[in-house]
Amino acid sequence: MRKESSTNAINERFLHRICELNSAIDIIGGRWKSQIVYSISEGNNRFNLLKKEIPNISDQVLSRQLKDLERHAIIYKKPIPGAIPNGVEYMLTSKGQDLVPILRNLCEWGKIYAEGKAITV
């Protein structure tokens, strides 16, 4: 946990104040969050299904990323009635559903421009 008075924390607050894009990138940034959101939108809405879809993520990191997405109201946990042990499905909130087309567009943009492809002047 970093100090609120650290230069990094001060710079982050400044960037969030001047442009909401920085806040949005913080919410979905990182290695796995966008893939998790996209996978949930495709029906991989249980922990084990997400692990199968994203095999290189550790249980601990997946759990932490899911909690972060839940904290930012991108997803929520829906209990599965009668599941033993208690099971949950991860569902997209309306905020999360609004994010999916943006992620698809970013994916398409990446396909075109990643690694210097299709650079036009």
Which of 75, 13, 22 minimizes the C-alpha distance to 50?
75
Please write the tens of the pLDDT for every residue from 31-82.
899 999 999 999 999 999 999 999 999 999 999 999 999 999 999 999 988 8
Which of 97, 89, 87, 94 minimizes the C-alpha distance to 66?
89
Three-state DSSP class for residue 85 = coil
Kindly calculate the radius of gyration of the chain based on its CA atoms and give it in whole angstroms. 17
Q: Can you give the pLDDT at residue 16?
A: 64
Q: Which residue has the higher pLDDT, 118 or 84?
A: 84
H/E run at residue 11? helix 7-18
| DSSP strands (E only) in 20-120 | 75-80, 87-92
**Mean pLDDT for the chain?**
87
Q: What is the DSSP letter of 69?
A: H
